[in-house]
C-alpha cells in the first residue's frame, strides 16, 4: 500500500510541479522569440505578456497551494488504511487498525449464542475520535471463545460543533473475523516479522507466498528506520501485522533499536502493547505448550554514544531486566511447558558466531556488553531451546561453544535492495524438535534445519 501526506503534496510537490512547468514554458516561449528575432522579425509584445502572466500564475498558484494545506486532509476519501490486527496485551487483546481520517472506533463481537457486544475506544467515558490509529482493548475470552466473531467499526469525525457536540460522517464496517482457538498440541508454529525498514512491498509478497499454517506472529522490531509520521507507523507495523495475522491469530510485539528513533517513537510504545502485565518491554508469554521470554536490550551502542546527547540510560534498563529474568528462572514456570524459548531483537550470538560481548561495532569501533554474558548465563540455566532474534538481516542458526543454546537470526529486508525480503517460519514438534522454513519475496521456500 502506498501512502502520501496530502499536506506534503500541497506544500512541496504541487508548487514544484507548477514551477517546473512554468520554467519549461518560459524557455519554449523564449526560444520562439529568439528564433523570430534571428529571422529579422520583430518580437511580438504578446511573448512578454505571456512570460509575465506565467510568473504571476506561478506565484498565485503556489500561494493557493500553501494556503490550502491546512485543509488538505479534507481531500482524502474516508477509508480503512489497514485491516485489524490483534496484539496480545497480557490479560487482554488489543485490536488495532487505521483509517485515512480521524474517526471514532469500536469492536463489535458476535457471540456463538447470537448476542452482540460492542466495545468502544474511549477514555473516562468519552470516545477517542481524533485519531487515525485505533486501539480497542477487549477481554480475551470474547475472541478466544469458539463460535464468536468480530468486526471493527469507524465513524469519520467531521468537526467539533460545541463543547459537547461533534459532527460525524460516514461509518465504515469491516468484514467479520473469526479468531482461531489456541493450538494446544505439541505441533505448533509461529511466523516472524522484523527489519522491514522500507521493504513493505517485498514483505507483502513474502507473506502472500507462505503456504504453511502458523499459530501466532512474532514481531521482532525494526519495522521502520525511524517513526517520523503516523503513516510510517501504519505502513510498517499495522499493515504488515494485519497481513501476516489476517486478523485471526495473535501478534506478539517486541521493540527493536529503530523504534527508539524518530519524533513518534514514544507513540509506538504507547500504541502497541507487549504481553507484560506491568507495561514493560520485556515479558513472558505462553501459547499452548510454548513458553516464550521476550527481552529488549535497548539500542546497539553504549550509553555514552554521541548520538544520544547524554539522554540514554539503557544499561540501567538492562540491569532491571536481568534482575527480572533471574526471577523468571527462580519461579520455574517455564517447566510447565513443552517448549521454552527466548526472543529479542538484538541477538546474543552474531550471525558469524561471535558472542555479542566480543563483537566490534562498525560505527564506533567498540564492543558493547549489553549485559550479554549475564543474559546468556541465565537463559542457559533456564534451558531454553533457542533464542529467536533479528537485527542482522541474515537468516542463520548461530552457535558458539561457550553458549548453551543456538541463536536463530530470522532475516529482514536487504539493506542494499529493498525489493528483497526474507523471513522465517519456526515449526516445533515432538517435544524437542524444530524446523525452520525461510520464505523470500522472490518466491523461494527453503526448509533448512531439522533436528
Would you say 414 and 393 are in contact if contact means Cβ atoms under 8 Å apart? yes
pLDDT at 12: 58
Measured in degrees and rounded to the nearest 5, phi and psi for residue 159 equal -160, 165
Q: What is the pTM of this model?
A: 0.85
Would you say 188 and 428 are in contact if contact means Cβ atoms under 8 Å apart? yes
- Which stretches of the chain score pLDDT less than 50? 1-5, 10
pLDDT at 22: 65
What is the rounded radius of gyration, in angstroms, for the C-alpha atoms of the chain? Answer: 27
d(CA 100, CA 317): 36
DSSP, collapsed to helix, strand or coil, labels residue 193 as: strand
pLDDT at 59: 65
d(CA 137, CA 238): 16
DSSP, collapsed to helix, strand or coil, labels residue 131 as: strand
pLDDT at 68: 54
User: Using one digit for the tens of pLDDT, what is the confidence trace for 93-126?
Assistant: 999 999 999 999 999 999 999 999 999 999 888 8
pLDDT at 63: 63
Would you say 395 and 206 are in contact if contact means Cβ atoms under 8 Å apart? no
d(CA 328, CA 286): 13
What is the H or E stretch that residue 314 is in?
helix 314-331
User: Using one digit for the tens of pLDDT, what is the confidence trace for 34-92?
Assistant: 666 566 555 556 655 666 666 676 666 666 655 555 555 556 799 999 999 999 999 99
- Phi-psi category of 270—alpha, beta or left, where left has phi over 0 and alpha has psi -120 to 50? alpha
Nearest-CA neighbor of 258 among 345, 372, 129, 323? 345
pLDDT at 404: 95
pLDDT at 2: 40
d(CA 253, CA 193): 10
Amino acid at each position: 500500500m502506498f501512502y502520501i501526506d496530502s499536506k506534503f503534496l500541497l506544500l512541496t510537490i504541487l508548487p514544484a510541479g507548477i514551477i517546473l512547468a512554468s520554467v519549461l514554458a518560459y524557455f519554449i516561449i523564449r526560444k520562439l522569440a529568439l528564433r523570430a528575432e534571428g529571422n529579422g522579425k520583430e518580437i511580438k509584445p504578446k511573448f512578454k505578456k505571456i512570460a509575465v502572466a506565467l510568473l504571476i500564475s506561478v506565484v498565485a498558484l503556489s500561494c493557493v497551494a500553501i494556503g490550502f494545506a491546512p485543509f488538505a486532509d479534507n481531500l482524502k476519501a474516508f477509508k480503512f488504511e489497514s485491516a485489524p490486527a490483534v496484539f496480545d496485551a497480557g490479560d487482554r487483546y488489543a485490536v488495532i487498525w487505521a483509517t485515512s481520517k480521524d474517526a471514532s472506533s469500536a469492536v463489535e463481537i458476535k457471540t456463538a449464542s447470537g448476542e452482540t457486544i460492542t466495545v468502544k475506544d474511549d477514555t473516562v467515558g468519552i470516545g477517542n475520535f481524533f485519531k487515525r490509529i485505533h486501539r480497542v482493548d477487549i477481554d480475551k475470552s470474547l475472541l478466544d471463545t469458539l463460535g464468536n466473531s468480530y468486526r471493527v467499526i469507524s465513524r469519520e469525525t467531521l468537526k467539533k460543533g460545541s463543547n459537547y457536540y461533534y459532527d460525524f460522517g460516514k461509518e465504515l464496517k469491516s468484514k467479520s473475523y473469526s479468531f482461531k482457538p489456541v493450538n494446544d498440541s505439541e505441533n505448533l508454529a509461529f511466523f516472524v516479522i522484523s527489519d522491514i525498514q522500507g521493504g513493505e512491498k517485498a514483505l507483502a509478497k513474502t507473506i502472500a507466498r507462505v503456504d504453511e499454517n502458523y499459530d501466532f506472529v512474532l514481531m521482532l522490531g525494526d519495522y521502520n528506520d525511524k517513526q517520523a509520521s503516523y503513516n510510517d507507523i501504519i505502513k510498517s507495523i499495522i499493515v504488515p501485522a494485519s497481513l501476516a495475522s489476517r486478523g485471526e491469530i495473535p501478534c506478539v510485539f517486541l521493540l527493536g533499536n529503530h523504534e527508539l528513533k524518530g519524533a513518534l517513537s514514544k507513540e509506538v510504545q504507547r500504541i502497541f502493547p507487549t504481553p507484560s502485565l506491568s507495561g514493560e518491554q520485556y515479558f513472558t508469554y505462553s501459547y499452548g505448550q510454548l513458553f516464550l521470554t521476550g527481552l529488549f536490550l535497548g539500542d546497539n551502542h553504549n550509553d555514552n554514544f554521541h548520538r544520544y546527547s547524554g539522554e540514554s540510560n539503557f544499561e540501567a534498563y538492562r540491569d532491571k531486566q536481568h534482575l527480572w529474568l533471574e526471577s523468571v528462572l527462580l519461579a520455574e514456570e517455564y517447566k510447565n511447558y513443552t517448549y521454552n524459548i527466548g526472543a529479542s531483537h538484538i541477538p546474543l550470538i552474531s550471525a558469524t558466531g561471535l558472542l555479542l560481548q566480543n563483537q566490534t561495532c562498525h560505527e564506533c569501533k567498540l564492543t558493547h556488553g549489553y549485559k550479554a554474558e549475564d543474559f546468556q548465563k541465565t537463559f542457559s540455566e533456564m534451558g531454553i531451546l533457542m533464542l529467536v532474534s533479528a537485527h542482522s538481516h541474515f537468516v542463520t542458526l548461530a552457535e558458539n561453544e561457550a553458549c548453551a543454546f543456538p541463536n536463530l537470526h530470522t532475516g529482514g529486508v536487504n539493506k542494499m535492495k529493498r525489493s528483497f525480503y526474507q523471513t522465517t517460519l519456526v515449526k516445533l514438534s515432538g517435544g524437542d524438535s524444530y524446523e525452520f522454513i525461510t520464505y523470500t519475496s522472490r518466491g523461494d521456500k527453503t526448509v533448512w534445519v531439522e533436528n
